[in-house]
A and B are shown apart, each in its own frame.
Chain A
Amino acid sequence: MIVAERKPFDEIRSMVSNYKKVLTVGCGTCVAVCLAGGSKEVETLNAELNLAFKKDGIEFGAETLQRQCDMEFLAELDNKVDQYDCLLSMACGAGIQFLAERFPNKPVFPAVNTSFIGVNLDVGWYEEKCRACGQCVLAMTGGVCPVTMCAKSLFNGPCGGTNKTSCEIHTDQPCAWFKIYERLSGQGRLDQIMKISPPNDWSNQKPRKVIQPGYEERVKAMNS
């Protein structure tokens, strides 16, 4: 899932302080699961904002959509946003941008920082697992991602900085390639580590698109 963290209250406060009616928009999928932007967080944030702006008479509305990354769900706000001066989105960066695209006349502000694609370790505890690099090498790294875990995102490792199981940057940071070595050796697949992976092309990155196989013609038809 996509993991986000709520922005510091002061930052949110300063973004909305010049408006009279603010709609806080939650998202019911990833950010709800990671306890950052679901309907409970919308209510909590609004309560804080109400307290802070009691004297200024700013009104805060609340809506939580199923997802802010699907236009059909955003459409549920079509008849509501007119009454507001600005929108405060608690979705991930994708959702915030799609919301802003849907209502180009309204200022849209982010109430969360989108952190990473990660996993749930326990309630409220998440760890990054994937950088969405678009060139998955997990097959030859024993299911440990070097792009995410290695400080240098090395496709071929370890580097000279590997330091008795940890990374040279800090002893708290395990060396990704040491973990890879352990995993592969446990599976008897150490030959994998000797293979050279060609480097990923990190240059000139622009927004990527995915069209699932079998849907190319549909997309073509929609664009014509």
Chain B
Amino acid sequence: MTTDKCTNVIEKCIDLKGSENCDDANMVDISISKDVLVIGAGSFGLEAAGKIAAQGYSVSVIGVKTACARQSGCSSEMLETGKVNIMQDVAIDSLAGVTGDFRAVLIKTAGNGTGCNETGCSEKVEKVFGAIVVAPQYSYSPLNKKYGLTLNDKVVSQSQFEAMLGDSESQKKILNSNNGNGSTVAFLTGFAQEGDPTLTSRVLTSALAVQNMENCNAYIYAGNVKVGAKGLERLFTQGRHAGVVCFKPSQMPTIEQTSTVEQDGNCDHKQVSETIKITIKDPVVRTDVELTPDYIVVEEALVVGQQNLDIASTLRIDADLYGFLPSNNVHRFPAKSNRDGIFVVNNSADAANTALKLKELIGNGIKKVAANKAKVDEDRCVICLTCYRSCPHGAIFWQNGAAAISQVACQGCGICASECPMDAIQIGDFTDDSLRTSIKDAVVSAKDNQKDGQPLIVAFCCKNSAFEACEAATQFGHEMPQGFRMVKVPCAGKVDVEFIMKAFVEGADGVMVAACHEGNCKAERGNIYAKWRVNEIQKRLEKMGLEKNRLIFTTIASNMAKEFAGKVNAFAAAIQ
């Protein structure tokens, strides 16, 4: 009930937010397909599908293995909506189009992940989707080596142990390990890697299951434990109440894995018995605490499979540093990818959030968007594809012999405009003409106020960081040179070579390009492009016989007012 209330409030907020600044004259209606594609039929993919179907949209779920087959994830509720179509052994072959109108080519996979088998290749079908949800299915790799352990029937990975718990024969083995006296099971987690809530949850669930078995005891040796997910604290408490013992030593426990070979009369018949001993130092009582468990369960690392990387490259979405989807961006809603209309679901919260965001995106199938976010001059465009290749949001395509920019997918960063060799792209509030005027005005106004001996500085400031920092610096009264002026840009990636040169030509003594910190660019790579460009212009300045330190690139965050003023003053001092 409360949840419903919350959802209503959130939906209302979304509606309100969507309606702000709706100057009808500059808005266009764009139709958005109400069909959604979910790639990945694991439990989270199916959970997302169910929630999206509940919003009234048709969902196609594709995947090689569906969680339905394992009787989990496919709720009857979801299937009864009649809006979820599960397509087993279907993969995505290629993707064209943009948000609202993605054209996906789907292919039957013959169970081997490709569209081909001995008898030939299966047929492909093209379908239109308004949005795409990826629910990646990662695989696991045991981290026994990091603990110096060899896997065998006593030292098992978390996945192997979960399989044992699900198998009645193996369960009996665990119960009868010590001549019918139950087993002691030790779990090792959080020493070999950073860990995450999903891994914590698996360990806690298994430990509780062991503890609930007759005469069995579970011990958890935890290094770094991540408990920031729904229900994890409760699961932990449940385990403690049931008698699960948890150790959190500051160092990885010392583990001895020794096997002894006992030979009976027959030479061919060897009996190998193994003992494992875990030792930790208790910091309170200052003695060693030893345990010789019957089983050791070692943690596993998530592994990004080639399949996930292939999906990412087909969809043209970025992965993070480790290959996981989506890439990190603090400005972006967590389940969103760098392309509008493509979401990534890694857990239940993502599934719920994606369903909400989809409602915001698709609505009733018509979306009002600003018509002038980015415009292509079709007469100038030579379809060199530079914009298509540099757009971080995958918002550009081409049709009728010219580049075209989706007004829904476009985020207005202007990277395409600054890269276009024909100046064929103009960005809504930041056209080339208006920026040239801003540069000129900045120099003129700086000249009027400039104090004798102080340099004239023009700073191109990203509106997401440096612009805010500069405004704050002014308001907080941090002193900056009188001859300092800023030019607001939608992203540092919009700063053209031409603009920087124009600032010098107009009379600036120094030019500063102030971008967001690395890894913090709203447009993913705008700051990197700006840095490359500045480096290149510095070389050119040197060749022209000018001092290259008259141009600097710097990064700043929006809350760094004092630091911003400091950087400007240092720059002024350096070029004075």
A, B: real partners: yes
Interface residues of A (CB under 8 A from B): 66, 70, 72, 75, 78-79, 82, 213-218
Least distance between B570 CB and chain A CB atoms (Å): 26
Point out the residues of chain B lying under 8 angstroms from A217, CB to CB: 528, 532, 535
Point out the residues of chain B lying under 8 angstroms from A215, CB to CB: 532
Indicate if B121 sits at the interface (CB-CB under 8 A).
Answer: yes
Q: Are B401 and A214 in contact (CB under 8 A)?
A: no
* Measured CA separation A38–B528 after assembly (Å): 39
Point out the residues of chain B lying under 8 angstroms from A218, CB to CB: 532
Which of A66, A75, A213 has the most chain B CB atoms inside 10 A of its CB? A213
Given contacts A66-B383, A78-B94, A79-B105, contact A72 B388 (CB under 8 A): yes
Chain B window 60-102, contacts with chain A (Cβ cutoff 8 Å), 1 for yes, 0 for no: 0000000000000000000000000000000001100000000
Q: Which residues of B, 527-576, contact A by the 8 Å Cβ criterion?
A: 528, 532-533, 535-536, 539-540
Q: Given A79-B94, A214-B533, A217-B528, output 8 extra A-B contacts at Cβ < 8 Å.
A: A66-B383, A66-B398, A70-B385, A72-B385, A75-B94, A213-B540, A214-B536, A217-B535
Give 19 CB contacts A-B under 8 Å.
A66-B398, A70-B385, A72-B388, A72-B389, A75-B94, A79-B94, A79-B124, A213-B536, A213-B539, A213-B540, A214-B532, A214-B533, A214-B535, A214-B536, A216-B532, A217-B528, A217-B532, A217-B535, A218-B532
Least distance between B407 CB and chain A CB atoms (Å): 21
* Measured CA separation A218–B385 after assembly (Å): 15
* Measured CA separation A82–B121 after assembly (Å): 9
Point out the residues of chain A lying under 8 angstroms from B540, CB to CB: 213
Least distance between B530 CB and chain A CB atoms (Å): 11
* Measured CA separation A66–B389 after assembly (Å): 16
* Residue in A66, A70, A79, A82 whose CB lies within 8 Å of B401: A66
* Measured CA separation A72–B497 after assembly (Å): 27
* Measured CA separation A163–B293 after assembly (Å): 100
Point out the residues of chain B lying under 8 angstroms from A75, CB to CB: 94
Tell me the nearest residue of chain B to A75, going by C-beta: B94
Point out the residues of chain A lying under 8 angstroms from B385, CB to CB: 70, 72
Q: Which residues of B, 97-126, contact A by the 8 Å Cβ criterion?
A: 105, 121, 124
Least distance between A64 CB and chain B CB atoms (Å): 12
* Measured CA separation A75–B532 after assembly (Å): 30
Point out the residues of chain B lying under 8 angstroms from A79, CB to CB: 93-94, 105, 124
Point out the residues of chain B lying under 8 angstroms from A82, CB to CB: 121
Least distance between B47 CB and chain A CB atoms (Å): 32
- The 8 A-B residue pairs with the shortest CB-CB distance, nearest first, are A214-B536, A217-B532, A213-B536, A214-B532, A72-B385, A70-B385, A214-B533, A66-B383
Point out the residues of chain B lying under 8 angstroms from A72, CB to CB: 385, 388-389
Point out the residues of chain A lying under 8 angstroms from B532, CB to CB: 214-218
Point out the residues of chain A lying under 8 angstroms from B533, CB to CB: 214
* Measured CA separation A54–B207 after assembly (Å): 76
Point out the residues of chain A lying under 8 angstroms from B528, CB to CB: 217
Point out the residues of chain B lying under 8 angstroms from A70, CB to CB: 385
Least distance between A38 CB and chain B CB atoms (Å): 13
Least distance between B233 CB and chain A CB atoms (Å): 41
Least distance between B124 CB and chain A CB atoms (Å): 6
Point out the residues of chain A lying under 8 angstroms from B94, CB to CB: 75, 78-79
Tell me the nearest residue of chain B to A28, going by C-beta: B401
Least distance between B390 CB and chain A CB atoms (Å): 9
Point out the residues of chain A lying under 8 angstroms from B383, CB to CB: 66
Chain B window 384-412, contacts with chain A (Cβ cutoff 8 Å), 1 for yes, 0 for no: 01001100000000100100000000000
Least distance between A216 CB and chain B CB atoms (Å): 8
* Measured CA separation A213–B533 after assembly (Å): 9
Least distance between A77 CB and chain B CB atoms (Å): 12
* Measured CA separation A82–B93 after assembly (Å): 14
Least distance between A79 CB and chain B CB atoms (Å): 6
Least distance between B264 CB and chain A CB atoms (Å): 58
* Measured CA separation A217–B530 after assembly (Å): 12
Tell me the nearest residue of chain B to A213, going by C-beta: B536
* Measured CA separation A78–B115 after assembly (Å): 14
* Measured CA separation A213–B497 after assembly (Å): 12
Point out the residues of chain A lying under 8 angstroms from B121, CB to CB: 82
Tell me the nearest residue of chain B to A67, going by C-beta: B383
* Measured CA separation A215–B536 after assembly (Å): 9
Least distance between A218 CB and chain B CB atoms (Å): 7
* Measured CA separation A214–B536 after assembly (Å): 5
* Measured CA separation A82–B398 after assembly (Å): 24
